[in-house]
């Protein structure tokens, strides 16, 4: 897991052109099995206290989401902070990177709703909002049937679009008419394969129509130079007194990786 995954100049160029890329077999064999075991167990432990009778919000119906597992589960930590994933993020984005946060994204069978078309970085307390990147790792085979990811190429270059309300999403063409005529690309993944996408690239995942859980793990990276703008966010609100508006994210929760 500390060795480098090979990238060609063409792959890096394509990522920067399109705002996403699919990479196969980034983690395999015993490493993949250990990563899946660590993350699924962490999600199960943290979900055990959920009230099954509580009516879920529209957002909660999209997936089971557990953020920053690496800070609470020692078994998850080495996978989130590992060199192989971070080096890919650094080479694709072209900048030294920090961890922003991780998130397990599990879609429940038959009930996991679609994830609407949206951009990521608009929700984050970051300036500038241009080169953040996310690795989205399939912990088991991910297909159209169980909710794989799709992307709209080149949309990371669009500006001035309002963030989508994920609880009550608008139609894509209402908020981003510039995307009309651009054909989405759907990325079905084998277990251990991944996508990377720029935080400004429009992306989507369909509902899980299968009989099993759709298991995915995302790790989000931000350029080392990213500035905290003070906007409220679930990750930074508990430590906002420890951050400085207008300064970099120099905090143990956002470690530098891939150095």
Calculate mean pLDDT across residues 228-246: 97
**Phi/psi of residue 238, nearest 5 degrees:** -65, -20
- Which two tokens mark 214? 């759709």
Percent of the chain with pLDDT over 90: 81
The single residue listed with the structure tokens 């990811």 is 149
29-75 pLDDT, tens digit per residue, is 999 999 999 999 999 999 887 656 554 544 455 668 999 999 999 99
User: For the whole model, what pTM was predicted?
Assistant: 0.94
92-138 pLDDT, tens digit per residue, is 999 999 999 999 999 999 876 788 899 999 999 999 998 999 999 99
- Which two tokens mark 51? 């009230």
State the pLDDT at residue 58.
47
Assign domain 9-47+58-243 to its CATH superfamily: q2cbj1_9rhob like domain (2.60.120.620)
Strands (E), 44-164: 64-67, 97-107, 115-118, 126-127, 133-138, 149-151
Separation of alpha carbons 124 and 90, rounded Å:
19
Average pLDDT, the chain: 92
Percent of the chain with pLDDT over 70: 93
Among 161, 157, 156, CA closest to 173: 161
Separation of alpha carbons 94 and 98, rounded Å:
13
Calculate mean pLDDT across residues 205-233: 96
């Amino acid at each position: 897991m500390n060795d480098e995954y090979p990238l060609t100049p063409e792959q890096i160029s394509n990522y920067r052109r399109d705002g996403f890329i699919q990479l196969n077999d980034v983690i395999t064999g015993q490493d993949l099995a250990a990563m899946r075991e660590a993350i699924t167990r962490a999600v199960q432990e943290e979900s055990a206290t959920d009230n099954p009778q509580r009516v879920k919000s529209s957002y909660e119906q999209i997936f089971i989401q557990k953020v920053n597992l690496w800070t609470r589960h020692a078994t998850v930590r080495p996978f989130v902070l590992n060199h192989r994933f971070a080096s890919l993020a650094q080479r694709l984005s072209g900048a030294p990177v920090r961890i922003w946060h991780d998130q397990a994204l599990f879609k429940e069978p038959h009930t996991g709703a679609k994830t609407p078309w949206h951009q990521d970085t608009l929700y984050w307390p970051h300036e500038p909002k241009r080169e953040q990147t996310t690795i989205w790792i399939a912990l088991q085979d991910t297909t159209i049937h169980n909710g794989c990811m799709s992307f709209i190429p080149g949309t990371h270059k669009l500006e001035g679009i309002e963030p989508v309300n994920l609880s009550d999403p608008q139609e894509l063409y209402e908020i981003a008419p510039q995307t009309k005529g651009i054909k989405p690309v759907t990325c079905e993944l084998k277990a251990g394969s991944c996508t990377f996408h720029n935080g400004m690239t429009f992306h989507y995942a369909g509902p899980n129509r299968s009989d099993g859980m759709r298991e995915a793990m995302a790790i989000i990276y931000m350029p080392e130079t990213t500035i905290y703008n003070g906007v409220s966010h679930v990750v930074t609100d508990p430590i906002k007194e420890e951050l400085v508006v207008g300064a970099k994210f120099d905090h143990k929760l956002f470690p530098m990786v891939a150095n």
